[in-house]
Structure 1
Amino acid sequence: MTLMPSRGQLARPAPEVIAELFAREGVRRIYTVPGDMAYGLLRAFAAAGLDVFSVRSQATAVFASAGDNYSEGRLASAVLITRGPALANALAALSSVVAHGVPMVLLSPCESLTDMQSGAFQGSMHLALEAGSPCDVLRFEDPDSAGGRLASLLADTAKPDRRSAVVLLERRLLGSLMVAPDIQPPRLSRRPDLAALQTAAEMLNAAKNPIIVVGHRARWSASFETLATFARRLNAPLCPTGLSIGFGGTRLPSLGQDEVHRELSGADAVLLVGASLDWTLRSGIAVPNEAKVISLREEGEPGFESRRGDIVLSGEIGQTLDALCGMFDTRAGLSPRPEGRGRLPAPPPPTLFARIADRLADDFPTETALVLDGSNGLIHAARRIIPDADWARITPGISGHLGAGIGHALGAAASGRYRRVILLTGDFSLGLALADLESLVRYDAPVTVLVNNNRGLASESNQLAGADRRIADYTPATDHARIMRGFGGVGHRIDSLDGWAAIRDRVVQGRGPCLVDISEHADTPE
């Protein structure tokens, strides 16, 4: 659908109209690495009341917008990146983010196709995401149609499609006049298939041990009221995946990660609510072969789980869940499901970082988000940390894109939803975005960074089998706390639980950004 310009409105500079359309759709923040051809747009966004966050790397800008949008559960921010190699860097991060299901809009000023063919500076790079990606690449060059096209795109990204887009804005367009289109009523979602809903309801009603698995894509439309009602009516536990641990916070309790596979192994019906791509379901782990699987997924979302659903219900997940829940009353004659059996006995965590994560799990501060950026060992160490807020745990995503942590933390903090953000990161992951520690300091972001300083790729160094250790091992003299202080921030270095206890309240409850370098080296320098 292309919207027509509003009659009677005066034409205005294109950047001004573009900024107005973003503000009208509820976008409140822009993340950027400024450069040639971007400054006019940045001035227009600021004049329209949007906050502009300038960071040090294109990937950080993308991850910050993703963390912001994920925190708010909607399209609350966008990214502005210049053309050429800068855009190429941003697309690598964007491909990971959109695969995770986060709605994104990335703007990039560019040269015309004619100028590209003649070798315009940084304009000869032909860039596109992989075929089949949930992200469109659109070129805007005509000022007469650009306003309507952009308004339609933003509406589709916000709801119901949540279809992400890269928008290429040609130089000619940015120097022209445009007219803002009229505001159009929101487009409605496609109704769920009634016959498929009835079949799914019959399967669930016949089950003795159903389970509701809530994945990360449920973030955008599934209401907690419906999830709680459905779980009660089915007498079924709510189960997270590796990407949605603690999704309900204290408001809607779910099984602990240590209980998930055990509970799934006894299920005879599994309802996947936006969970088709999550780590723990890709190989059908723990789901019995005889169990019926019903999958609720977004329209056009690919399904990579090895146990394809016996029934797949496509469309807006929240709307489908509401319709399915409405087909049930509380099932009569069923005894209550036993309460979760609690945490399984486990040996003490093997590393200082893991022991500190374990202590955080027991006293994680309120109104605080948790961001994770590291390998499987770090993710496992933090599995018990459940923020009190819902959807307040942000991970590298289904692609395991390390280096996302600082961006995710900055975006989560900028959303204003949390009093503080705590980032748990590996030293390898932190190094991929190290310069943006300065961005945290410059914007006085309420972010605490805990670095697992274990000399680099510790979880993979055993694969070197006698090769040069410098491939995976960093120098033990590396001190991230001193780097943070060099940027003007607060930095601490510790090598014991006593050291953590001495600074814990200051770094978790304080104001502004700080970093704690948690050294795992026996020979930590003074």
Structure 2
Amino acid sequence: MTTSAGHLIVKTLEAQGVRRIYAVPGESYLDVLDGLHDSTIETVVTRHEGGAGFMALAEGRLGSVPGIAMVTRGPGAANAFIAIHTAWQDATAMVLFVGLIPQADRGRASFQEFSLDGWFATTTKGIFVIDDEHQAGDVVARALRLAATGRPGPVVVGLPEDVLIRLTDAPVPAVLPLPESAPSATALAKFSTMLTEAQRPVIVVGGDGWDTATSTALADFAAAAHVPLMADWRAYDAIDHDAQAYAGWLGYGRSENAVTALGNADLLVFVGCARTDVLSEGYQVALETPSIIVTTDAELIGHAGRIDAHLSTSPADFVAALPEATTVRGSRGPQWLKQLRGEQLAFTRSGADGGQGVDLGLAFEALEKALDSDRILTYGAGNATLWGHRYLSHHQPKTLVGPRNGAMGLSVPAAVAASIMHPGRHVVAICGDGDFFMNAQELAVSFAHGGTPLIVVVDNGIFGTIVDHQQRKYPQRPSGTSMENPNFAQWIQSFGGHGELVTSTEEFAPALQRALSSGLPAVLHLKTDPTTMGPGTVAHQATNNAQESIA
């Protein structure tokens, strides 16, 4: 059947299982928008291209197919770049469609012209431009497949304005199965031998794509084999935090005991991730520890240090092929596992932080108790998120979205997308005041699509992470790190949402219950003490030590 290239793109996305696209409309891809008019795909119109990109990233992390964002040429693509960088460093599957100038206008510095390759080449898995209308469907199908296979990541597809309206008889391409990746008998034998001989092994999980069956099976195996499980930075929804083998996470905000355990391990098995910068404390810890890597990334992008075996397989295929746990336990007793598990439980035991305003240690204790077990948590960047990482638990995969590259502004759009994807579930964004207002406008999208996220804004009037660094390197010389904030509760109320300004610890729990029961997008604006840094920071530890000395 004859159709336009733009409409063929939409039909291909439908066939690939795409349920939503996140877009800021542009005149450069009007024919695709026209195709979406009668499509089964929900078009989520966002307020900023960065928000659209972050929502697509959340869809890719929480869903089963790559997230899709659509923006226009030049300025639109520039605004979306932050999400591409995040998806690249986070290894999250998404496809960004960018409207382009007509073919005949190229190379003439025409209105909003730019180079896709020049901008995106270093932070994408692939860049395609649909210059042939008959190839439109094939290019789209290839882009989605490339984003999802191997090391997942972002792909960019250019849409020349004039090509989209050309007619074609090309069919919608068939959906191809993803490659299978069962580990070889030789590789499994080496894994079994090394694990049997180890006395202090650690399995580190990470990356996207985990499912409940895989997570549960690995947790059961690890407990029976006396192997503690640790998680990569912002990937700790891969394992149920109530699992006997779960021993915490590595990266920012981790416990000192976790770093010590990493350094003391005599075998590291990385499943779905690699030994990267943040996980290894800036390439400083456990680089020469015997290591087995289980990942479909053939290039091992970001990995540092020793490799004894590389199993090019997915977490699901690896876990399905695991031997009986008792056969690889060797002479290893449960002491190592019990020690690390006990240290993590002690580390996540909440308590008072002190200071003026809302005590976040006690507030997050109340938040943990109030949320359903299948809560979805989203984060931006900054010290404010560390309370959530430490005190809020996960019990199944695909319940956490946070920028592993440290990008600010992700928390709100990710929560909006998650709430649209999963109506009825508790979806909570944890963010600082700086992070919140970078993309707070995307809360407007919730009202249009029925989302009801709760945004917890920790307002200490500073860029806390930078202040923490500044105090160590330039003590008593604050510069460029303070901000003045409006009343965020009144701001969300102006949309028709639920908002409350919380200025004391006692006010938090009742305000939380009202927000969760409101059935509306909600903001809790927490006023906190700027001298109280996030748990795990140097400043926070110094404060706690001083309080203990006084006590």
Structure-2-length-normalised TM-score: 0.83
Q: Which position in structure 2 is the counterpart of 1:348?
A: 352
Query: Is 1:296 paired with 2:294?
Result: yes
Q: CA separation of 1:205/1:516 partners in 2, compared to 1, >3 Å: closer, same or farther?
A: same
Q: Which position in structure 2 is the counterpart of 1:379?
A: 386
Q: C-alpha displacement at 1:18, in angstroms?
A: 1.0
Q: CA separation of 1:162/1:393 partners in 2, compared to 1, >3 Å: closer, same or farther?
A: closer
Q: Which position in structure 2 is the counterpart of 1:89?
A: 79
Which of residues 49, 55, 63 is equivalent to 2:54? 63
Q: Distance in 1 between matches of 2:323 and 2:398?
A: 22
SS at 2:311's partner residue? strand
Structure-1-length-normalised TM-score: 0.86
SS at 2:60's partner residue? helix
Q: Do 1:373 and 1:429's aligned partners in 2 also have CA atoms closer than 8 Å? A: yes
Q: Do 1:218 and 1:273's aligned partners in 2 also have CA atoms closer than 8 Å? A: no
Give the aligned CA root-mean-square deviation in angstroms. Answer: 3.1
Q: Percent identity?
A: 20
Q: C-alpha displacement at 1:409, in angstroms?
A: 0.6
- Counterpart of 1:84 in structure 2: which amino acid? G
SS at 2:390's partner residue? coil
Q: C-alpha displacement at 1:245, in angstroms?
A: 2.5
Q: CA separation of 1:504/1:333 partners in 2, compared to 1, >3 Å: closer, same or farther?
A: same
Q: Which position in structure 2 is the counterpart of 1:407?
A: 413
Q: Which position in structure 2 is the counterpart of 1:473?
A: 482
Q: Which position in structure 1 is the counterpart of 2:511?
A: 503
Q: CA separation of 1:145/1:130 partners in 2, compared to 1, >3 Å: closer, same or farther?
A: closer
- Counterpart of 1:434 in structure 2: which amino acid? A
Q: Do 2:512 and 2:524's aligned partners in 1 also have CA atoms closer than 8 Å? A: no
- Counterpart of 1:100 in structure 2: which amino acid? D
Which of residues 488, 493, 496 is equivalent to 1:485? 493
1:368-425, Cα deviation, whole Å (9 max, x unpaired): 211122313532454120133433122222x100111111111211222761211111
Q: C-alpha displacement at 1:232, in angstroms?
A: 4.5
Q: Do 1:148 and 1:180's aligned partners in 2 also have CA atoms closer than 8 Å? A: no
Query: Is 1:455 paired with 2:454?
Result: no
1:316-331 equivalences under 5 Å are 316-323=314-321, 325=323, 329=327, 331=329
Which of residues 218, 236, 239 is equivalent to 2:227? 236
Q: Which position in structure 2 is the counterpart of 1:268?
A: 266
Q: Distance in 2 between matches of 1:518 and 1:299?
A: 41
Which of residues 226, 247, 252 is equivalent to 1:255? 247
SS at 2:455's partner residue? strand
1:278-317 equivalences under 5 Å are 279-283=278-282, 287=286, 289=288, 291-317=289-315
Q: Which position in structure 2 is the counterpart of 1:6?
A: none
1:500-526, Cα deviation, whole Å (9 max, x unpaired): 12212111343120111111269xxxx
Q: Distance in 2 between matches of 1:487 and 1:417?
A: 20
1:113-170, Cα deviation, whole Å (9 max, x unpaired): 5412123221245554555534211111111222223223323334466453100011
Q: CA separation of 1:27/1:279 partners in 2, compared to 1, >3 Å: closer, same or farther?
A: same
Q: Which position in structure 2 is the counterpart of 1:4?
A: none
Which of residues 43, 65, 75 is equivalent to 1:75? 65
Of stretches 229-238 and 50-59 in structure 1, the one that deviates more from structure 2 is 229-238
Query: Is 1:150 paired with 2:140?
Result: yes
Q: C-alpha displacement at 1:467, in angstroms?
A: 6.4
Query: Is 1:391 paired with 2:398?
Result: yes
Q: CA separation of 1:299/1:326 partners in 2, compared to 1, >3 Å: closer, same or farther?
A: farther
Query: Is 1:174 paired with 2:178?
Result: no
Query: Is 1:224 paired with 2:215?
Result: yes
Of stretches 448-457 and 379-388 in structure 1, the one that deviates more from structure 2 is 379-388
1:64-88, Cα deviation, whole Å (9 max, x unpaired): 111122112x215311111111111
Of stretches 205-214 and 344-353 in structure 1, the one that deviates more from structure 2 is 344-353
SS at 1:231's partner residue? helix
- Counterpart of 2:346 in structure 1: which amino acid? R
Q: Which position in structure 1 is the counterpart of 2:126?
A: 136
Q: Do 1:25 and 1:155's aligned partners in 2 also have CA atoms closer than 8 Å? A: no
Q: Which position in structure 2 is the counterpart of 1:436?
A: 442
SS at 2:457's partner residue? strand
- Counterpart of 1:53 in structure 2: which amino acid? V
Q: Do 1:218 and 1:275's aligned partners in 2 also have CA atoms closer than 8 Å? A: no
Q: CA separation of 1:89/1:326 partners in 2, compared to 1, >3 Å: closer, same or farther?
A: farther
Q: CA separation of 1:161/1:285 partners in 2, compared to 1, >3 Å: closer, same or farther?
A: closer
Q: Do 1:21 and 1:180's aligned partners in 2 also have CA atoms closer than 8 Å? A: no
Q: Do 1:117 and 1:124's aligned partners in 2 also have CA atoms closer than 8 Å? A: no
Q: CA separation of 1:112/1:272 partners in 2, compared to 1, >3 Å: closer, same or farther?
A: same
Query: Is 1:25 paired with 2:34?
Result: no
Q: Which position in structure 2 is the counterpart of 1:427?
A: 433
Q: Do 2:219 and 2:239's aligned partners in 1 also have CA atoms closer than 8 Å? A: no
Q: CA separation of 1:328/1:85 partners in 2, compared to 1, >3 Å: closer, same or farther?
A: farther
1:237-296, Cα deviation, whole Å (9 max, x unpaired): 22123222343336756223445335434422111112313722354566485x421111
Q: CA separation of 1:467/1:265 partners in 2, compared to 1, >3 Å: closer, same or farther?
A: closer
- Counterpart of 2:445 in structure 1: which amino acid? S
Q: Distance in 1 between matches of 2:324 and 2:166?
A: 52
Q: Which position in structure 1 is the counterpart of 2:549?
A: none
SS at 2:238's partner residue? coil
Q: CA separation of 1:287/1:401 partners in 2, compared to 1, >3 Å: closer, same or farther?
A: same
Q: Distance in 1 between matches of 2:116 and 2:499?
A: 43
Q: Do 2:91 and 2:151's aligned partners in 1 also have CA atoms closer than 8 Å? A: no
SS at 2:403's partner residue? coil
SS at 2:247's partner residue? coil
Q: C-alpha displacement at 1:485, in angstroms?
A: 1.7
Q: Distance in 1 between matches of 2:146 and 2:388?
A: 38
Q: Distance in 1 between matches of 2:125 and 2:425?
A: 32
SS at 2:27's partner residue? coil
Q: Distance in 2 between matches of 1:149 and 1:129?
A: 20
SS at 1:155's partner residue? helix
Q: C-alpha displacement at 1:482, in angstroms?
A: 1.6
Query: Is 1:359 paired with 2:366?
Result: yes
Query: Is 1:34 paired with 2:33?
Result: no
- Counterpart of 2:382 in structure 1: which amino acid? S
Q: CA separation of 1:497/1:489 partners in 2, compared to 1, >3 Å: closer, same or farther?
A: same
SS at 1:39's partner residue? helix
Query: Is 1:212 paired with 2:203?
Result: yes
Q: Which position in structure 1 is the counterpart of 2:538?
A: none
Q: CA separation of 1:211/1:172 partners in 2, compared to 1, >3 Å: closer, same or farther?
A: same
1:312-331, Cα deviation, whole Å (9 max, x unpaired): 33343433444454898464
Q: CA separation of 1:381/1:248 partners in 2, compared to 1, >3 Å: closer, same or farther?
A: closer
- Counterpart of 1:311 in structure 2: which amino acid? A
Q: CA separation of 1:40/1:488 partners in 2, compared to 1, >3 Å: closer, same or farther?
A: farther
- Counterpart of 1:473 in structure 2: which amino acid? S
SS at 1:56's partner residue? coil
SS at 1:216's partner residue? coil
SS at 2:483's partner residue? coil
Query: Unaligned 5+ residue runs, structure 1?
Result: 1-9
Q: C-alpha displacement at 1:209, in angstroms?
A: 2.5
